[in-house]
Amino acid sequence: MGSGGGALGLSSPLFANGHLSSSSNSTSLPLPVEDGNHLAMVKPSSSVVNLPHYKWRLLIAYDGTRYAGWQFQVSPPTIQCIVEKALIQITKLERECLHFVGASRTDTGVHAWGQVAHFITPFNYDSLETIHAALNGLLPSDIRVREISAATPEFHARFSAKSKVYHYKIYNDTIMDPFQRHYVYHSVYKLNTAAMREAAKMFIGKHDFSAFVNASRNDRVPDPVKTIFRFDVIEMGPLIQLEVEGSGFLYRQVRNMVALLIQIGKDAIPTEIVPKILATLDRRELAKYALSAPPHGLCLVSVKYNQEHLLLPSDCPTTSFGRHHTITKCKLPFY
């Protein structure tokens, strides 16, 4: 345990003579606070003016089967809630001090290999390997922190994101592989991948995706105009992998696009239906042809950033990718 604050592996811009020392990262500017689905700017009180702060980036993988998505709620549990509890236990900080934010609000049952998040501490770390090991030691086995690195003050897991990549997997055979049942959607219909590939290309570009968004519990109105950079349909034996990269995605947008492609793959509707539905800007039009694809086939694979957002601050600890255990041989005395 490090000194001051009860956190692991600390170095000290911490408490000298009972006061916070000065820091290049100190600030008296308003701090961002996550409040449900909103980002509010809160002016610090006089007790936290000139508070040093350090920002840390996490790369997180999880099996979303048991969780009600990413976004914070206590019951039923979410990924953000579980990871935040572990951070609170390790850093001894309150939730509102961590400012823990994820890049993507994955839905109930959706998985992730490359979710990105950040949090803030008023102290630095000598090494990130200790807190990395502690986090994974506290987290359940279906949530893993793959990497921890320092981040610049300008980095924001959500707002700095340049694009996000999702994969949706379909097992296209008469008998489902039981080992993939939690991560792959099973279609017993023989799918026409050539038609799906042609239709997927029609999503590429900048469009208003109002016809492909479900009504969410958000009381804010997101921008329905998004850019799809690529939408690939890849065959790997009985497995069909749909890979989509976009500037951002609306609530259930990916699953709604996939659902329409599956109907096209069944040859139930023609490929030309894609631009026609897009043009209506009406979710009810899509509902005439397809419902949302199940969540378990969807995975957030990566979040991409401009290189300047991934630069490490000066005098920061080395990025932690985890550490291997080694066996120390016993040296038995000779008699």
Q: Please list the active-site residues.
A: 107
Residue 321, φ and ψ in degrees, nearest 5: -110, 15
Burial class (CB in 10 A: 0-12, 13-18, 19+), 62: buried
Distance CA 53, CA 39 (A): 18
120 Rama sector, left if φ>0, alpha if ψ -120 to 50, beta otherwise: beta
Distance CA 231, CA 260 (A): 13
**Which runs of E-coded beta strand occur in the chain?**
15-16, 19-20, 31-35, 38-42, 54-62, 101-102, 111-121, 143-151, 161-171, 185-186, 205-208, 225-236, 239-246, 298-305
Distance CA 175, CA 182 (A): 15
Residue 258, φ and ψ in degrees, nearest 5: -65, -45
DSSP state of 85: H
Structure tokens at 199: 């239709």
Closest CA to 108 of 66, 143, 73, 75: 66
The count of C-alpha atoms lying within 13 angstroms of the C-alpha of 256, restricted to the half-sphere facing its C-beta, is 24
Residue pair 211/283 in contact (Cβ under 8 Å)? The answer is: yes
